[in-house]
Amino acid sequence: MGKRFSFVVLFFILGISINSLYAKHIIGGDVTYECLGVDSTTMIATYNIVFKMYRDCGPNGGAAFDDSPEIGVFRGAANGGVFFLTKFNVPLREVVNLEIEKSPCQEIPTGICVQEGRYEFEVNLPISEFSYFLSYQRCCRNVTINNIVNAEDTGASFGIEITAAAQQVCNTSPKFDVFPPILICVDQPLFASQAASDAEGDLLVYEFCSPKQGGGPFGSAENPGDQTACNGIIPDPSKCPPPYPDVVFKLPNYSFSNPVAADPQLSIDSQTGVITGTPNLIGQFVVGVCVKEYRDGVLLSKVSRDFQFNVTECENFVSASVKHDVQIGPNEYQVNSCGDFTIDFINESQDPAFIDGYLWNFNINGNIVTSTEKDISVTFPGLGNFSGSMIVNPDETDDLCKDTAYFEVFVYPDIEADYSYSFDTCVGGPVNFRDLSVSGAGNILAWEWDFDDGDSSFVKNPAHAYQEPGSKDVRLIVTDANECQDTLEQTFEYLPAPPIIIIEPSTFFGCSPAEIFFNNLSTPVDSTYDIFWDFGDGMTSNEISPYHVFTEVGQYDVSVEIISPIGCEISKAFNNLIEVDLKPEADFDFSPEEPNSLNTTVQFSDLSTNAVKWQWEFGEQGASFERNPNFTFRDTGLHAIQLVAFHPSGCPDTITKIIDVTPFVSYQMPNAFTPNADGTNDLFMGKGIISGMSEFELRIFNRWGEMVFETDDPLEGWNGQKYNTGGQAQSGVYVFQLSYRDARGMLFEKKGFATLIR
């Protein structure tokens, strides 16, 4: 028996120590009591209190259960309110992991864990004309909850009322038989019992009710504030008496009576406590269930359970299915037969590794036909509709390891596709199709023609023009009022000659030699046809669309003859179709022949023959339409100059030449200098155009061969001192050696005399 606490009145709130975690983990809980007896002398009743709390212990489950939660004590008052009496601590008795009910024929997600924490103790309460209240507050719930507002900052309150009527008869509250299912499969019917048992056999009535809020996020590391406030993570019982507010559901989709997204909507049987419906949205949903206890029409107690439904995707290994024409709904199929009374039923159930047997049932005009084969053939007596079913694993006791497919069989009258076709076999034109299909159900309602060339039609009697000749496989699918279909495919040869010859030359005018492409647009034509071209210059071709080069000036008649594989022919002559004229011969010259950076203006001279118009292109630097233009180049380097010369007929000729505008580099040396510091001719230094110069080197030697000056800078001269810093050199004749490379890398070398005069 649990530890006993003697108080005048009891209402408890389980809290946590100031240093506990901000616990986003609560998924459910409930409180019950048992009256152990009443002392007839003192009229004090002894109650055993059991509080069960459920938490998420998965990878992100949050804090553990509190080891020694604080309990608050309250009692009802004459004014309808409650008042605080005292508070104390209760130890955690037991923690167990709840098992997830799992069928061997179903795959569920991993990592799901739920723990039950049980707190149990005894308390002595004097029988009163007012109710005692037991409740519990704790922050917080899972952030992933879908159906309430601000779930991550909303705590929970669990409680029970010991009514005055219950005290008078030493009543024991009902107790739930099982915890709700930890995991629910989306889009699968739910059957979850929330039945309770009552020791005295009182009448129990079940209903959905609203879970309660309790506590809040304040006082945590993320939300500074008073931890013991009613919106704190550790509400102080003396500050936070009941009643507690309901959680706020996300309207209009959710409410306490419609807590889970489902179709059909969840409902609870008021007599059995069984919850049914089909959840259709993956997520987590807070649900409240209350069981009321009545005796002789008097309400003695109400036990409230707050819990979390986890709706997830499940994979069932066993599913019943048959090959069908229409799927009416889940596990409901329609099988149609058009004209055949014997129907083959093909079993498409999955997964064969989990299937041990089958049971077929057919209702044929009141006669039940059964079979245990996987696939069966059934002969029906005539036209009409019949019902049937096929059970997978009919002897299996686990409902998830068995499944049933229901089907309606419709035997319809026969339908037969047929059509005729007609066309001119020698002159290309449309093929006319005529539907001849018949159906026992009446008129044909739909036609689908496939003409074997990528085109189709949905009219009854179409006409189709083929662009290509050859063998044609034409398919017709017809559908009647019963959606019965039949298909007919017929093959015919389509090999007429084109009704008209159409050709399209790439140009009607050319310059000799003129290459012209003749595009044959006549249809139908392919490589099996004989084609004869005569270009009017003594040359012919047998290609469908040939190229031809006209080398002589003149006008040409072009004729074409086409003969189909079955001897149908057509021909046409196109008089004066092509005109060929002379083309000029473009040429030009320019001066100077070697322009450089000192003179970048070039005179161009046209040397073309048979030309009356000119178009000059100077690269990206410019253009001209003069016959003999001048052009000034902005940059040195190689330039491609193009001249297009035009004949009076418009025929062009093009020539391109390369002009090299060279960068000019020069450097001239003096023969004497007078380094006497008078500002005139004090340095021995060359002058010239040095842009683009490289590898410059100047050396000066005295008559004994001793080097007295050296530099790699063309702008540095010799001042008459040894290396420009030593002693004064004597007057006399010195030898210089000069070398450098120009902008194109050509090496220039020079040797001479430098006369020093003082």
Supply the pLDDT for residue 734. 95
pLDDT interval class at 60 (50, 70, 90): low
Residues 573, 560: Cα–Cα separation, whole Å? 6
Distance CA 116, CA 26 (A): 11
Alpha carbon distance 313, 282 (integer Å): 7
CA–CA separation, 171 and 174 (whole Å): 10
Q: Name residue 578's amino acid.
A: I
8 Å CB contact between 169 and 156: no
Q: Mean pLDDT over all residues of the chain?
A: 91
pLDDT for 370 beyond 60: yes
**168 falls in which pLDDT band (50, 70, 90)?**
very high
Structure confidence by residue, pLDDT tens digits, 592-616: 998 988 888 999 999 999 999 999 9
pLDDT of residue 185: 87
Vertex 604: Cα angle to 599 and 607 (nearest 5) = 150
Is residue 116 scored above 60 in pLDDT?
A: yes
Query: Which pLDDT score is estimated for 302?
Result: 97
Contact 512, 551 (CB under 8 A): yes
Give residue-wise pLDDT tens across range 524-552: 999 999 999 999 999 999 999 999 999 99
pLDDT at 61: 57
Residue 73: predicted pLDDT: 80
The pLDDT tens digits for 390-409 are 999 999 887 778 999 999 99
User: Taking the complete model, does pTM exceed 0.75, yes or no?
Assistant: no
* H helix runs in 66-146, sequence order: none
CA dihedral angle for residue 629, residue 634, residue 637, residue 639, rounded to 10 degrees: -40
* Three-state DSSP state, 99: coil
Q: How far apart are CA 574 and CA 591, in angstroms?
A: 51
Q: What is the pLDDT of residues 249-265, one digit of tens each?
A: 999 999 999 999 999 99
Segment 4-31 shows an average pLDDT of: 49
- Rounded Cα–Cα distance for residues 319 and 347 (Å): 11
Q: Are 229 and 220 in contact (CB under 8 A)?
A: no
Could you give the domains of the chain? 3-312 (no CATH), 317-412 (2.60.40.10), 415-494 (2.60.40.10), 503-579 (2.60.40.10), 588-661 (2.60.40.10), 666-756 (2.60.40)
What are the helix and strand counts (H, E) for the chain? Answer: 1, 59
Give, for 168, the enclosing helix (H) or strand (E): helix 164-168
Lowest mean pLDDT of 127-131, 287-291, 649-653, name the range. 649-653
- Please report which confidence band the pLDDT of residue 4 belongs to, taking 50, 70 and 90 as the band edges: very low
pLDDT tens-digit profile of 308-317? 999 988 888 8
The pLDDT confidence band at residue 19, using thresholds 50, 70 and 90, is very low
The C-alpha atoms of residue 709 and residue 684 are separated, in whole angstroms, by 10
**pLDDT of amino acid 94:** 94
pLDDT in tens, 64-107: 888 888 877 899 999 989 998 888 788 899 999 988 777 777 77
